[in-house]
Amino acid sequence: MIFKEILGASVALWLAAAPAFAGNSSDDALLGAFDAYRAGDPIRFAKHAQKLSHHVLEPWLEYWRLSLRLEDMPATEVRAFLSKFERSYVAELLREEWLKVLGGRGDWQEFDRQAAFYSRDDLEVRCYGWASRLQRGDESAYAEAAAAMWLEPRELPEGCSKLADAMMEQGQLTFSDVWRRVRVLFEYGQITAAKTALGYLPRNEAPDERMLAEAARQPKRLLSRLPKNLEQRATREVVVLAVVRFARSDAEGAAAALDGPLAARLPEADLKYLWGRVGHEAAREHYDKALAWYARAGDLRLTDEQLAWKARAALRRGNWQVVRDSIDQMSAGARQERAWSYWYGRALAAQGEETGSRAYYLRVAGRPDFYGLLAEEELGYMVALPDKIYVPGEDEVAAAKRDPGIARALELIRLGLRTEGVREWIHTIRFFDDAKLIAAAEVAHRAEIYDRVIETANKTVRVHNFALRYPVPYQDVFQEYAKTHGVDPALVLGLVRQESRFLQESRSSAGATGLMQLMPRTARYVAAKLGLRNYRPHHMGEVQTNVGLGTGYLKLVLNQVGHPILASTAYNAGPGRARRWRDSRPLEGAIYVETIPISETRDYVKNVMANSVFYAAVLENKLTPIKARLGTVPPRTGAEPTAEDELP
């Protein structure tokens, strides 16, 4: 937020030692200052800020003050702030904003000075960094920018747009590069950004706007009456975009279009590209023909995302050689991801290469997560809670509480500025050793900020405290309702740990509330099913009601889908999807989870199932192997619930 010549000397009034106004609390003044900052109102900000003196959030107040007029701020004043609050989160925030201001005005000397201390990763700052190098004559920045920025599947920020303009003027980006970007944007459904990219084409090279709109909104109709002149680049590219768009909603229909007149009218390179897209979309929809359609892409170099779904399609078919080949073709970074290390080990084992498979399992084993648990079992080990846990002393807890960053985070969260508080916390603990992490987690536990307890305790490497990693607040309530509804308490807690991190005030962007994150419609449905009289929506803010309805809903889902994996999937994505993602044959539980099409749901179910293993150990000292919990997912059947019986 940039404001010119508004604050003047009046802004400095907030630094005065004695408040000028009486009657308002420190909390009211702080929150008033924050609201004024968000509204971009420097006068109102100064009015509230002058009531605060020596506040624990002084760095934030200073940051808000400077941010409001950063474009006109003298460099000396910015440097003074960065020096005073060196290594703090707000210093990093202000430096990032300052770098964008400097890049926008082309002050490359000061930009380079500040960029040397910048440790965050922001695409626009990187673009200004490349622009700075170009100003110094380093033309290698062109290639780096083209590789890292040009194919970003989103609208480019201002600094990157300026860099792209310069690259077009210098001939570093071609018309083919423009179409390449447009294809990527269509793949991700970023149609508005695609239209922006097409603005780089001259009028005689640009596509017909009505045809482009039809490709985006009604691709099937465009493909049913193909334009005559596919030799023209713009027309041909629009037809390619229509197939990309069509494949997202109907992979089988897109395949049929490619086998029709398009087979003879598109160049071989375009056909291979489109078969790669069709194979990818078909794999995500679990079509049996996905691998065959992938094969028709021939020697096309697939992206890591396409190769991941090729491997997943092969997992569902039990084709371990294709699993192995797909992972081999991934980039080095993708191959080293924990998921693909585990599945590569499984592929080697399936082909009798036991020594090689153990080497891959060992890369993954030793961490208390989904793949770590699976790998440990493949190696023949039973995962157990550590015999010794690290319990911080009171002096360590007190020292953690005194840490300025921890103190600021706690105050921000107490005031309801949770986003700012969580980010301050994450920045503060980023270099803590295990002992300090556990002490900080204990501070959060005593403050009942359970998401920070879990995330902080999760970061330990050599010594651990599983009571903090897997806390059980409201234990009596969970145990009571799990017993009442006949569901596994470890599964309930594993789900809640993933859903809300045990924050009763949690509310999702979609409107789900409380510990068990129920949507209002679902809560009403379950309350009616359970015969809960006088239920009102505000009752979801009560722990007892929230847990009672949440466990009741989980039981209803379990009864309908019949398997813990399917129930966990249904809790996040809905029962209809959970059933639809089954196969026509029984499927190993781990493979079902790995091939869930929605990445958020896939990660969610992995975490819930791993959590349940450890909660069983925490609650009952009972170690159930994760493979036993995952089991086998039964095949699809014709006996599906009717629309009337479908759960919300």
3-state secondary structure of 438: helix
Tokens describing residue 475: 């234990």
Averaged pLDDT, 111-137: 95
pLDDT value at residue 510: 85
pLDDT value at residue 229: 87
Helix axes 338-350, 370-378, angle to 10 degrees: 30
Q: How far apart are CA 106 and CA 152, in angstroms?
A: 24
394-464: CATH topology is 1.10.1240
Q: How far apart are CA 11 and CA 550, in angstroms?
A: 50
- H-type alpha helices, 106-139: 108-115, 123-135
Residue with token string 């159930």: 624
pLDDT value at residue 639: 65
Q: Work out the pLDDT band at 553, boundaries 50, 70, 90.
A: very high
- 448 is known as an active-site residue: no
Distances (CA, A) of 421 to 49, 80, 145, 416, 424: 19, 24, 34, 9, 5
Q: Work out the pLDDT band at 621, boundaries 50, 70, 90.
A: confident
Q: How far apart are CA 469 and CA 415, in angstroms?
A: 25
Maximum CA pair distance of the chain? Answer: 81
Averaged pLDDT, 632-642: 80
Averaged pLDDT, 212-230: 94
SS (H, E, C) 478-531: HHHHHHHHCCCHHHHHHHHHHHCCCCCCCECCCCCECCCCECHHHHHHHHHHCC
pLDDT value at residue 154: 95
pLDDT value at residue 244: 97
List the chain domain ranges.
8-133, 394-464, 475-633
Half-sphere exposure of 638 (CA within 13 A, CB side): 0
Q: Note the pLDDT tens digit of each residue in 425-459.
A: 999 999 999 999 999 999 999 999 999 999 999 99
Averaged pLDDT, 112-124: 95
Q: Note the pLDDT tens digit of each residue in 557-608.
A: 999 999 999 999 999 999 999 999 999 999 999 999 999 999 999 999 999 9
The b/e string for 306-330 (b: 16+ C-beta within 10 A; e otherwise) is: bbbbbbbbbbbeebbebbbebbebb
pLDDT at residue 17 is higher than 70: no
Categorise residue 603: left if φ over 0, alpha if ψ from -120 to 50, beta otherwise: alpha
The torsion angles phi and psi of 2, rounded to 5 degrees, stand at -115, 130
- Mean pLDDT (the chain) is 93
Q: Note the pLDDT tens digit of each residue in 309-353.
A: 999 999 999 999 999 999 999 999 999 999 999 999 999 999 999
List the catalytic residue out of 268, 499, 542, 644: 499
> Of 194-198, 242-246, 643-647, which range is least confident?
643-647
- Length of the chain in residues, anyone? 648
Q: Work out the pLDDT band at 520, boundaries 50, 70, 90.
A: very high
- H-type alpha helices, 537-598: 543-561, 564-573, 575-580, 589-594
SS (H, E, C) 58-106: HHHHHHHHHHHEHHHCCHHHHHHHHHHCCCCHHHHHHHHHHHHHHHHHC
Asked whether 211 and 222 are in contact (CB, 8 A), the reply is yes
Q: How far apart are CA 42 and CA 64, in angstroms?
A: 9
Averaged pLDDT, 397-412: 98
Averaged pLDDT, 364-391: 90
End-to-end Cα distance, the chain? 42
Q: How far apart are CA 18 and CA 86, in angstroms?
A: 27
pLDDT at residue 478 is higher than 50: yes
- Whether domain 475-633 has CATH 1.10.3720.10: no
Q: Note the pLDDT tens digit of each residue in 85-104.
A: 999 999 999 999 999 999 99
DSSP 8-class letter at 640: P
Q: Work out the pLDDT band at 641, boundaries 50, 70, 90.
A: low
